[in-house]
Amino acid sequence: MNVTYPETIWEYSPESEAQRVVFVAQMIQSYFYQIKGFLVLPDIATDSVNTIYFPNLPIVHHPYFWKKVFEEGQVEGNISRDIIEQIKTELPKVSPPTLIQSQWDKVAPEFWNHLQTYLPEVSAKINKLVIRQTAYGSRASGVRKKKSQPGEVTIYLRFDAKLSHIPAAIFIATLDNIHKNGLLYGFNWEERQAIGDFLLCHTSLAGLFPKHESTILAVRKEPTLELRNQSRAFLTSLGFPPKRLFTVDDTRQVAINEERLPLRPKEKEVMSLLIEKRNQIVSANDIAERLWAEDAQTKYSLYAISKVVERLRKQVQAHGIFPGIIETRRGQGFILND
């Protein structure tokens, strides 16, 4: 029987690098990296999965750059050509490594066979893999699939990435795009990463990629004080010092980055509770008592609570902050990671 494997295309260009810089900037601006425990550094200073490389270019210290980055986050494709062209002129000229391409060619057929076994729903929908090599961002990351390219998976692979980061990025990219009726729909970032880590460390895939380092375990490691201070200093120089994003006053008016959120009464109650207990799990029962007081037992509705949290995430995202900062803990409740 003839088995057809997805076509693999390797890409690298000044244009894709400029786009990568904008994407990494969006993740910084949304506090995604800071919330998830990554270190953002201007140089690749450590052989660790939890470091993010962001180039210390003149343009990234200009307020106009971050204004356009925010606009791009609100309306996809809105980034101005002058920003892209300026980044391209400031980026150093480098060449991507080629050894990893031949390494992937050797293991790819067996990997796709394993994927068909472990995640048939995912495997059946992939006919092309685009690997964009990059000097920036995380070791590897997936790109959200475009509706116009349903069978194509695109990943970014940093120059210092290991072979196992290719399947890890494929997992995170595809598990993020499972259909709403699919088995894996609705998993958060940590859960998707954990699935990929499990497959690479505890199944037959471990034989193909024996040196895989778990992303989840890596970001949970306490970084050295020196690296942590370097990251904080660099982020502060970019305009993103360590701080609490959310505040609430005595009247339960909620603000994000000192800008008041236009919340409905129930949204105010839930958000103020999450802020009061930030970085702690707030159960659905806790929220019900805040919303309905003595009538909580009779009016309790997990659906209503979930809809309030969903609206809060949309408000957070509209202000340029990663909506997953309000995290769902399955069977436990919700937590504001601020």
At 241-272, the pLDDT tens digits run 988 899 888 887 889 888 898 889 899 999 99
64 and 174 in a single domain? The answer is: yes
Shared domain check, 285 and 205: no
Task: Decide if 88 contacts 189 (C-beta within 8 A).
Answer: no
pLDDT tens digit sequence for 35-52: 888 899 998 766 667 889
- Are 151 and 232 found together in one domain? yes
Query: Do 290 and 302 sit in the same domain of this protein?
Result: yes
Q: 145-193: per-residue pLDDT in tens?
A: 666 567 888 999 999 999 999 999 988 887 765 555 455 556 677 788 8
Between helices 165-175 and 189-202, what is the axis angle to 10°? 140
Q: Do 64 and 209 have their domain in common?
A: yes
Q: Are residues 196 and 282 in the same domain?
A: no
Cβ(146)–Cβ(77) below 8 Å: no
d(CA 302, CA 290): 13
Mean per-residue pLDDT over the chain, rounded: 85
pLDDT at 295: 75
What lies within 8 Å, CB to CB, of 10 at 6+ separation is 101, 131, 133
Flag whether pLDDT at 231 surpasses 80.
Answer: yes
Q: Please give the C-alpha separations between residue 70 and each of 185, 194, 288, in angstroms, as whole numbers.
A: 27, 30, 35
- Do 133 and 277 lie in one domain? The reply is no
pLDDT at 278 over 60: yes
In the listed set 191, 219, 243, which residue is the last one of a domain according to the structure? 243
Looking at residue 281, its pLDDT comes to: 92
Helix H, strand E, coil C: the string for the chain is: CCCCCCEEEEECCHHHHHHHHHHHHHHHHCCHHHHHCCEEECCCCCCCCCEEECCCCHHHHCHHHHHHHHHHHHCCCCCCHHHHHHHHHHCCCCCCCCHHHHHHHHHHHHHHHHHHHHCHHHHCCCCEEEEEEECCECCEEEECCCCCCCCEEEEEEECCCCCCHHHHHHHHHHHCCCCCCCCCCCCCHHHHHHHHHHHHHHCCHHHHCCCCCCHHHHHHCCCCHHHHHHHHHHHHHHCCCCCCCEEECCCCCEEECCEECCCCHHHHHHHHHHHHCCCCCECHHHHHHHHHHHHHHHHCCHHHHHHHHHHHHHHHHHCCCCHHHEEEECCCEEEECC
pLDDT band for position 227 (cuts 50, 70, 90): confident
Q: What's the pLDDT band for 89 if we cut at 50, 70, 90?
A: very high
Residue 176's Cβ-count burial label (10 Å; 0-12, 13-18, 19+) is middle
pLDDT score recorded for residue 16:
93
What's the pLDDT score for residue 1?
42
pLDDT at 48: 67
- Which residues does 44 contact at the CB level (< 8 Å), separation at least 6? 51, 53, 160
Residues 238 and 326 in one domain: no
The answer to whether residues 289 and 170 belong to one domain is no
Q: In this model, does residue 196 exceed pLDDT 60?
A: yes
Phi, psi of 260 (to 5 degrees): -65, 135
The per-residue b/e assignment along 153-172, b for 16 or more CB within 10 angstroms, e otherwise, is bbbbbbbebbbbbbbbbbbb
Q: Among 209, 243, 277, give the residue marking a domain's end.
A: 243
Q: Do 280 and 132 share a structural domain?
A: no
Provide the domain count of the chain: 2
Q: How far apart are CA 53 and CA 60, in angstroms?
A: 13
The per-residue pLDDT for 184 is 55
Q: Which pLDDT value is given to residue 222?
A: 72
- Of 208, 243, 278, the residue that ends a domain is 243
CATH of the domain at 275: 1.10.10.10
8 A C-beta contact, residue 287 and residue 266: no
> Among 275, 304, 305, 264, which Cα is nearest to 287's?
305
Taking residues 109-132, what's their average pLDDT?
A: 87
Domain range enclosing 281: 246-336
Q: Look at residue 151 in the predicted model and tell me its pLDDT.
A: 81
Residues 237 and 260 in one domain: no
195 shares a domain with 301: no
